[in-house]
Structure 1
Amino acid sequence: MAPHGKCCGDPNHQHEDPEKGVQYSLYTKINTNDLECLNEKVDGSGKTVFKPWEDRLNRESFVESDADEELLFNIPFTGSIKLKGVIVIGDSSDSHPSKMRLFKNRERMTFDDVVTTADQEFEMQKDTEGLLEYSTKVVTFNNVTHLTIHFPKNFGEEQTTIYYIGLRGEFTEAHRHGVTICNYELKPNMSDHKNPLQDSAHHPIA
């Protein structure tokens, strides 16, 4: 599936839309402690590409693949999201990823797992400024608590480089009241659950 361009056609023209910062704020809903990137050359560098929209062109933080061109992101959220679009900024060289595969709610996937059919795939174009958005099937990517992004190849380099991944959509807080009710039930107040047999033991029948 091809991306939807959001520009006027001039690749040198940079659009600054204040709404974008709000639309692409789902990075703040990622559980970064449990986020993992497989085959990253520098430990922890995969987490750095999920950053504010206004920092998307910052080339100081990026992830580069290690053994080959593949990268695999396991992204857990602190609640539930409805994913509507993805933006990926890479390098102008052939290290830019050329394909993206998305998997919904399949935790801790490995490269052995990605042989299965993805929930959606995109053939990518080189994007160095964040002008192209890959629109997801919203019906499929509703109620997402974990997102896996697989970049299986690039345009011909041995390593893949990514500077920014932006996620657009809606967020819903996780509901925790059910857990609280269960905790109350697990620790009942014994004074509220008197056993009538125990009462009668203290009052012998005449």
Structure 2
Amino acid sequence: MSGHGHGGGHGRGCCECDHEPAERGVEYELYRRIDIEKLQCLNESRDGDGKLVFKPWDQRTDRAKFVESDADEELLFNIPYKNIPQMSFDDTSREPEQAFRLNRDPLAELEYPTKIARFSNVQHLSIHISRNFGAESTRVYYIGLRGEYTEAYRHEVTICNYEAAANPADHKVETITPQTQFIS
């Protein structure tokens, strides 16, 4: 019997720690729904680099594409997709929907769970990175957005007239003869 973990009824597949399920990348497909042309990254050192970090799961460790902060360590992503549309650094003092304490993650493997109720029906998302681990600038290589996409339902405007009090002259009613019936 090998100590490799085959069989044994532990509920885990072969070498689960060495392989990741192929479906995992599918969970991070929300980047495809971002309107990349409208995406903004404030304080990026090179215009347009903030768009490069929203990429497929299998490219998350690609170190060639990244965004680096310019004047200080802060970066602010405005992703057209809840917070405040076109958020600025002046807005960062407001209470966020959720804050994360980031950890170093060179292999892009860490996941930060969200409060699901706060992120349903998101149309715009702002991500503010306020500090890093002590460097003068911040580099981000990958941001993965995990969740389900549902098409926004837009109901066309319906024009209706409502009457606060009915005007009897507007309603033609046939004469009704009341009938009384007795049941014996």
TM-score (norm 1): 0.66
- 1:35 aligned onto 2:39: yes
What does 1:182-197 correspond to in 2, within 5 Å? none
Q: Is the 8 A contact 2:79 2:125 kept in 1?
A: yes
Higher RCO (CA-CA < 8 Å; seq separation 6+): 1
1-side partners of 2:137 and 2:18: how far apart? 27
> Structure 2: which 5+ residue stretches go unaligned?
1-16, 160-184
Is the alpha carbon distance of 1:131 and 1:15 closer, same or farther for their aligned partners in structure 2, counting shifts above 3 Å? Answer: farther
Work out the percentage of aligned pairs sharing the same amino acid. 55
Matches for 1:142-157 after TM superposition, within 5 Å: 142-157=120-135
Q: 1:51 aligns with which of 49, 55, 78?
A: 55
Query: What is the Cα deviation at residue 16 of structure 1?
Result: 3.1
Please say if 1:25 is aligned against 2:29: yes
Deviation for aligned residue 1:122: 1.0
SS at match of 2:147: strand
1:138-182 deviations in Å (ceiling 9; x for gaps):
011111110000000001000000000001011111224x34x66
Q: Does 1:74 align with 2:78?
A: yes
Q: Which residue of 2 aligns with 1:126?
A: 104
Tell me the CA shift for residue 124 of structure 1. 1.2
- Tell me which of 113, 136, 140 is aligned to 1:162: 140
> Offset at 1:14?
6.1
Distance 2:119 2:52 in 1: 24
Tell me the distance in 2 between the aligned counterparts of 1:132 and 1:164.
Answer: 11
Letter in 1 for 2:142: Y
User: Which residue identity does 2:147 align to in structure 1?
Assistant: G
> Considering only CA atoms, is the larger Rg found in Structure 1 or Structure 2?
2
State which of 40, 56, 62 in structure 1 corresponds to 2:66. 62
Q: Name the counterpart of 1:175.
A: 153
Match of 1:112, SS state, is: helix
Structure with more of its chain in strand, by fraction = 1
Q: Distance in 2 between matches of 1:142 and 1:169?
A: 9
What secondary structure sits across from 2:38 in the alignment? Answer: coil
Query: 2:28, 2:41 → 1: CA distance?
Result: 20
Q: Does the CA contact (< 8 Å) of 2:83 and 2:124 recur in 1?
A: yes
CA shift at 1:36, angstroms? 0.2
With normalisation by structure 2, the TM-score equals: 0.73
**Which residues of structure 1 form unaligned runs of 5+?**
1-12, 78-103, 186-206
For 2:75 and 2:19, the matched residues in 1 are separated by 29
CA RMSD of the aligned region, Å? 1.6
